Amino acid sequence: MDTTPSHERPEGEAPASGRVDAEWPPEREAPPAAQADVERTGTRWGRFVAGLLVAAAVLVAAVATFNLLTDPWGVFGIGIFPPRVNQDRSTKADLLAELEQPPELLIYGSSRAWTVEAARVERATGRRTFNAAVTAGRPADAYVFTEVVHDLWPRATPDYLWLLDVEAFLRGPLPPSLLAESRFSRYLPWRAKAAAQLDELGWLASWTGLQASWEVWQKRPTRVKVRASWLRRISPDGTVKTPSSDKAKAGPKAVARWAEEERAQYQSFSRLDPEAVTYVEKTLELFASWGGTGVIVLTPTHPEVLSAAADAGWTQRHAELLRLFADLQDEYDFAVVDMTSVDAFGGDPAGFFDATHMTTENQRRMVDAVLEQAGDRLR
């Protein structure tokens, strides 16, 4: 055995045994069996993570598909089940089509105008009246319903009593129930429906969407039952039955909450929505095409809520809206009646169910004051 130290051997010369000295300290390597265990463990974890990701993707896709098919808010117009949104638009369009004669006066607005009694207005004006006010009604609703009426009765020449909320000019997507039905959406640009659908994509895979879809699936409502339930609330002339005024007993906490919500809304309300303004102009143009006239009423708000919103932007938007109407009056024939304060019609400050919906007594006082100021315009 060659015991000559490696540093004393000539360079490149191997020991007599033919064995080359290993480097020192020797490089440590895992035994072959242990190295194989490590590789197998890494492979198992990789497969587990990949499987987990695939399972999550399948679950999300399944939830999105379920939500899409049930379409609980009617955003995509699938139509398997009636959506969980208010069906007053659809019901009122049905009632319009069932009228034996065309209306001579149309009431427009949001749910704040739901309870304006068409029969009361008809008695005061002597003209057949239909209340076409709908949930979260926007200027686009008035435009669409005007088109619907004119398609049903091409020779009709109705006038209008249009109760407009300042908040109707807050920018936002059009209501799904306006876009989901072809008899409404046919009058709207395709981009309006596309924008609303894009805006709602987030809930397709959401827990909220799944809860709503599951509720629809459990109940499996039919259009006949949904329509029947709405017909119990809506009279043939479109008036929604008024709740008892006894329910209008809001305490200080509720009023404070409404005031805060209204303030927050106006803090992000920096200007009138140009699209809403366009629909106002298009609606006025339609009525003008047959010589129609009307009255635009700015709707009231609970006094304490209005006071809270005033400094948050309401005053500016209100003034901006009045300037808009003044400009439009140069081209179209209509009157403007500002009823944003209950003082304008001798209303009861406590006569509100919430921040914006009034009791029957307050609603009647307001309508009577409007018709008095309108003079012969609607008669």
Boundaries of every domain in the chain:
86-173+236-374
Which residue from 159, 350, 108, 378 is spatially nearest to 370, judged by alpha carbons? Answer: 378
Q: Two tokens at 148?
A: 């619907």
In contact, 259 and 309? CB cutoff 8 Å:
yes
pLDDT in tens, 321-347: 999 999 999 999 999 999 999 999 999
pTM of structure: 0.79
Is the pLDDT confidence value at 241 over 70? yes
Half-sphere exposure of residue 20, counting CA atoms within 13 Å on the CB side? 6
Q: Two tokens at 102?
A: 């065309």
In contact, 329 and 343? CB cutoff 8 Å:
no
Q: How far apart are CA 238 and CA 233, in angstroms?
A: 9
List Cα–Cα distances, 14 to 1, 4, 24, 51, in angstroms: 12, 10, 17, 54
Per-residue confidence band for 87, with pLDDT thresholds at 50, 70 and 90: confident
pLDDT in tens, 32-83: 555 555 555 667 777 877 888 888 777 777 777 777 677 766 666 666 777 7
**Average pLDDT rounded to a whole number, residues 188-213:** 72
Please state the CATH superfamily assignment of the domain spanning residues 86-173+236-374 in this structure.
SGNH hydrolase (3.40.50.1110)
Q: How far apart are CA 235 and CA 245, in angstroms?
A: 19
Give strand ranges (E) for 208-333.
294-298
Percent of the chain's residues with pLDDT above 70 = 80
Is the pLDDT confidence value at 136 over 70? yes
Asked whether the CA dihedral 124, 127, 132, 137 is positive or negative, the reply is negative
Per-residue confidence band for 84, with pLDDT thresholds at 50, 70 and 90: low
Helix (H, G, I), strand (E, B) or coil at 349: coil
Q: How far apart are CA 260 and CA 267, in angstroms?
A: 11
Give strand ranges (E) for 11-156.
105-108, 129-131
Percent of the chain's residues with pLDDT above 90 = 56
In contact, 337 and 296? CB cutoff 8 Å:
yes
